[in-house]
Structure 1
Amino acid sequence: MGAEVVIEGLTKSFGKQAIWRDVTLNLPPGEVSVMLGPSGTGKSVFLKSMIGLLKPDRGKCVINGVDIVRCSESKLYETRKLFGVLFQDGALFGSMNLYDNVAFPLREHTKKSETEIRRIVLEKLEMTGLAGAEKKLPGEISGGMRKRAGLARALVLDPEIILCDEPDSGLDPVRTAYLSQLLIDLNAQIDATILIVTHNINVARTVPDNIGMLFRKELVMFGPREVLLTSDEPVVEQFLNGRRLGPIGMSEEKDQAQMALEQAQADAGHHDGSTDDVRGVVPQLQPTPGLPERTGVRRRKDRVMRILHTLPPAAQEGIIESLTPEERVHYGVGGHSVTTSQRGQLPVDDVATVPGSGWREPQSNQSSDAQRMPPPPQQGRS
């Protein structure tokens, strides 16, 4: 199972320019998460800070007990081996063919023989749909193939955490759909913790288990996908629907005068750029038939049902509606809301254990169990 990432109070600035401050969230082990936000809000900086390429001003980023903000260089070097990173443009070496690009981390960081390297490289190329293309140069293949080659390279060290920086950038909607399915399939096969930075609303609605959003130098919210997809926060609603009306402007934010002018124009009949309201919980992508079920899905459902009573009513309804009849019996819920007696509690013997997460241990004492509950999704100013 992938590693859990615990981030507390992470703050980053360049000189006097604050990028984001006091970001606190947990990436649950083995689950897929997405980070949204307007351009220029520091999403890529956030990824680079997570792996120690940029040093935050303060805060913690703890992975397997190691705080990469304060650890030694040697410990940081070892911890980075837990990560696989898919960069925006693939970041392939133009003078190397795909085989050598994918083999590079193995040759750089391990003492494996060329025979073993060949086995691993061909396996990852096949996993990402690039079997037979190993001799091609990056300039000889499409953008989608370069993305998949970059992903294959990110997988060769069998990472516990995979970071994807706008994997859909430069891709058409069809290739984006294939890449989204590929990420879900990979999670089903290797159970890695995945964080995707994206602007693509369709990816955000259909791929992740958890969604967060950065805006105005803060984390607006982070939590189960249903919370953000049903949120009435103005910035979230505006971003999901791609409309001009709202706090986000051509620069990161607008002043009140600009917002009032745009509202007056909309009231006068000027179209604000949006289509139908896309808020609401849609079905999540499932692994391709024939692949194993995602074990992260069961862990996520157990975790979310334990905090169900802390979530907004619209998110509760979306979660309950997504449950099968068998799951409703298992979790002891019914209808479209959570009663006080239900409170999202699971039978003690039926709760899946998440090793190392710290959020639960089987307990017969309800008050002790409640102390282990994670906090509700973080919310900041919007």
Structure 2
Amino acid sequence: MGAEVVVEGLTKSFGRQTIWRDVTLTLPPGEVSVMLGPSGTGKSVFLKSMIGLLKPDRGRCVVNGVDIVSCSEHKLYEIRKLFGVLFQDGALFGSMNLYDNIAFPLREHTKKSETEIKRIVLEKMDMVGLAGADKKLPGEISGGMRKRAGLARALVLDPEIILCDEPDSGLDPVRTAYISQLLLDLNAQIDATILIVTHNINLARTVPDNVGMLYRRELVMFGPREVLLTSDEPAVRQFLNGSRFGPIGMSEEKDTATLAAEQQLADAGHHDGSTDDVYGVVPQLQPTPGLPDRRGVRRRKDRVMSILHSLPPAAQEGIIESLTPDEQQHYGVRPHMFATAPIGRRPSPQPRDRIEGDLGVANLPQTTWRPPEPGQGGGV
């Protein structure tokens, strides 16, 4: 099973510019999580801080009991071996063929024989669909193949944690769909903890178990996917729908005059640039037939059901409706049970083997923007 990552109060600045502050979240072991956020909100900085490439100003990031923020260089070197990282552009060595690129971590960090290295490299290449491409140079292959080669390299040390920095960047929708399925299939096969940074809303809605969002130097929220996908927070709805109308602007934050002008456009029925309203929970991708079931799914259900009573009503409904009838009976829940229960007397789901959990929601500055009424052309 993948390792748990506990982040507490992490803050990072460059000079006087605060990138994000007091970020607190837990990546559950063996589950797939996604981090969303507008460009420039420090998502890549967050990944680099998690593996010690950048040192946060304060806070903790604990992996297997080791705080990588305060540990020694020797300990950090060892902990990094638990991570596999897929960088935005693949970060392949242009002068090496794919085989040598993927073999590099094994030659750098282990004493394995070339025979053993060859077995591992070819196995990982086959796992990501690159069998037979070992002699090609990075400049001779497509962007999608470079992504998969970078992913194969991230897998050769059998990591417990995989970090993916925009695995879909530069890829067309079809290749993005293949990458999404590949990441989920890998989780089914190796049960690693996975964190994906992305702007791709379809990936964020269908792949992860948990979703978070960075905005205005805060972690807006992080928790079960159903919470963010049914959120009424204006910044979250605007981002998910890809709309121009809302608190997020080209410079991330809009002034009052811009918000008022956009509200007038929305009231007049001007289109906001979005396509469809993506509010709500959609079915999650499943592993390719023939692969094992994801072990993280059962652990997640137990964990989420233990905190179900503390989640927003719309998220509760989405979670309950995703359960099979047998699972609903097992957990002692039924559709609409929380919506109809008196406030303050909503029952806790069964069984009562409680797992403590918490959903962090940032207190964002209030905005004067409001979503347009249905039929007014706002698209949210």
Q: Give 3-state SS (helix, strand or coil) of 2:248's partner.
A: coil
Aligned-pair distance for 1:336?
2.1
Letter in 1 for 2:351: L
Q: Structure 1: where are the runs of 5+ without partners?
A: 349-368
Aligned-residue RMSD, C-alpha? 1.1
Contact kept, 8 Å, 1:49 with 1:56, in 2: the verdict is: yes
Render the CA deviation track for 1:178-236: whole Å, top value 9, x for unaligned. 00000000000000000000000000000000000000000000000000000000000
Q: TM-score, normalised by structure 2?
A: 0.93
Equivalent residue, structure 1, for 2:350: 345
2:357 aligned residue: 374
Query: Which structure 2 residues correspond to residues 59-70 of structure 1 after superposition, within 5 A?
Result: 59-70=59-70
The one-letter code matched in structure 2 to 1:316 is: Q
Q: Is the 8 A contact 1:223 1:378 kept in 2?
A: no
Q: Which amino acid aligns with 1:343?
A: S
Question: Residue in 1 aligned with 2:29?
Answer: 29
Partner letter of residue 99 of structure 2?
Answer: Y
Cα contact 1:166–1:196 (8 A) shared by 2:
yes
1:375 Cα shift? Answer: 1.6
CA change 1:257–1:328 in 2 (3 A) is: same
Match of 2:374 in 1: none
Could you tell me which residue of structure 2 aligns to residue 193 of structure 1?
A: 193
* Partners of 1:48 and 1:54 within 8 A in 2: yes
Structure 2: which amino acid aligns with 1:320?
A: I
Alpha-carbon distance in 2 for matches of 1:55, 1:24: 16
- Alignment correspondent of 1:101: 101
Question: Is the CA contact 2:2–2:29 (under 8 Å) kept in the aligned structure 1?
Answer: yes
TM-superposed deviation, 1:376: 2.7
Partner of 1:244: 244
Partner SS, residue 81 of structure 1: helix
Determine the structure 1 residue equivalent to 2:290: 290
In the other structure, the counterpart of 1:52 is: 52
SS state at 1:152 partner: helix
Amino acid at match of 1:311: L
- Look up the match of 1:353: none
Among all aligned residue pairs of Structure 1 and Structure 2, give the percentage whose two residues are the same amino acid: 82
Q: Is the CA contact 1:333–1:342 (under 8 Å) kept in the aligned structure 2?
A: no
Equivalent residue, structure 2, for 1:151: 151
What's the counterpart of residue 219 of structure 1?
219
Following the alignment from structure 1 to structure 2, what is the Cα–Cα distance between the partners of residues 277 and 139?
A: 39
Please give the residue correspondences for 1:1-382 in structure 2 after superposition, counting only pairs within 5 Å: 1-338=1-338, 339=341, 340=345, 342-348=347-353, 369=354, 373-381=356-364
Q: Which runs of 5+ in 2 are unaligned?
A: 366-380
Separation of aligned partners in 1, 2:104 and 2:190:
21
Which residue identity does 2:260 align to in structure 1? Answer: A
Confirm or deny: 8 A CA contact 1:9 1:23 kept in the other structure.
Answer: yes
* Displacement of 1:54: 0.1
Q: Deviations over 1:214-269 (max 9, x none)?
A: 00000000000000000000000000000011110011110111100111122223
SS in 2 for 1:12: strand
- What is the CA–CA distance in structure 2 between the aligned matches of 1:378 and 1:292, rounded to whole Å? 34
Q: Separation in 2 of the partners of 1:17 and 1:60?
A: 20
Give the letter for the 1:374 counterpart: G
Asked if 2 retains the 8 angstrom alpha-carbon contact of 1:5 and 1:26, the reply is yes
Asked whether the 8 Å contact 1:98–1:133 carries over to 2, the reply is: yes
Once the two structures are TM-superposed, the CA of residue 377 in structure 1 deviates from its matched residue by 3.9
